[in-house]
Structure 1
Amino acid sequence: MSIQLAESNFQILGCFPVISQLRPHLDQVKFVEQVQYQMKEGYKLAFLEVEKQAVAVTGFRISTCLASGKFLYIDDLVVDEFKRSHSYGQQLFQWLIEYARNHDCKHLSLDSGVQRFAAHRFYLTQRMSITSHHFSMEL
């Protein structure tokens, strides 16, 4: 088992089967191109690999704002639905915390859909707090 940043096209594409479970609207053909585009804006993709297969994937970025200072924001965090209950999510989450600390972040945050009750239980178990409501509108 190892956790690493996806840097090659092969590694990025290897994350698709897992991340598409969270983001089913993604197109496999355009996935690598989309991730590479986002990487130019600071997005990083990391994966937990077991037996040469990604079983948990996270997409994140480091940013700074007036409200929080420097922080790590988790865009995506998902464990393969057939590999859950093996602590892979917790291991990847702990890796994100260490990554944030090693990059001098003061906070780690994410948004989660209101319907994702299992994810909310996981985040609360990881000692996260619900600190705000996220509002949005399509344009």
Structure 2
Amino acid sequence: MNIFIATTDEEIAACYPVMRELRPHLTATAFVPRIRQLMAVGYQLVALVDHDEIVAVAGFRIGENLAWERFLYVDDLVTRAERRSNGYGAILLNWLKDFAAKAHCHQLHLDSGTWRKDAHRFYEREGMQLSSFHFTCDIHP
């Protein structure tokens, strides 16, 4: 098993099939340019490889605010559907926690859709707690 931060266009593109499972609105042609755009503002894409196959990916960023001080925010975390329940998500989440500690973060945060009950059980099993509600509204400029 190997975990790496995708930095080249080829590495980023190789993450697309897994990310598409979480973000089906993304297209293969727009994926690399979109990730590059996000990287310009601190986003990083990490992949977990097992037997020469990317089986899980996560997108994250380091941030700071008054409420949480320095934190690692997980934008995206997904394991290939057919490879779930093999511990890959836990391995990648632990890698993110270690990365956060090395980056002097005080907390790790993520949001999860209210309908994703299996994901919620996974996060709680991995020591995370439900700590707030996240509210949204669409803005039409």
**TM-score bucket (shorter structure):** over 0.9
SS of corresponding position for 1:82: helix
Q: CA deviation at 1:50?
A: 1.3
Q: Which amino acid aligns with 1:116?
A: R
Matched, 1:106 2:106: yes
Which sections of structure 1, spanning at least 5 residues, go unmatched? none
* Distance across 1 between alignment mates of 2:25 and 2:91: 27
Structure 2 match to 1:57: 57
Residue by residue over 1:83-127, the C-alpha shift from the partner in whole angstroms, topping out at 9 and shown as x without a partner, is 111100000000000000000000000000000000000000011
Q: What amino acid maps onto 1:48 in structure 2?
A: L
Counterpart check, 1:38 vs 2:38: yes
2:93 corresponds in structure 1 to 93
The residue type equivalent to 1:23 in the other structure is R
Distance 1:8 1:81 in 2: 25
TM-fit CA distance, 1:52: 2.0
> What are the superposed Cα offsets for residues 10-66 of structure 1, whole Å, 9 maximum, x if unpaired?
110010000000000001101000000100000000000112221000000000000
| DSSP 3-state at the match of 1:38 | helix
The answer for the alignment partner of 1:17 in structure 2 is 17
- Counterpart CA distance in 2 for 1:17 and 1:55 is 9
Q: Which residue does the alignment assign to 1:127?
A: 127
> What letter corresponds to residue 97 of structure 1 in structure 2?
K
Mapped pair 1:29 → 2:26: no
Aligned residues: 139
Task: List structure 1 runs of 4+ shifted beyond 4 angstroms.
Answer: none
Between the aligned partners of 1:89 and 1:111, the Cα distance in structure 2 is: 15
Normalising by the residue count of structure 2, what TM-score does the alignment of the two structures yield? 0.97
Q: Tell me the TM-score normalized by structure 1.
A: 0.99
Let me know the Cα RMSD of the aligned residues. 0.5
User: Percent identity of the aligned residues?
Assistant: 42
Asked if residue 136 in structure 1 is aligned to residue 141 in structure 2, the reply is: no
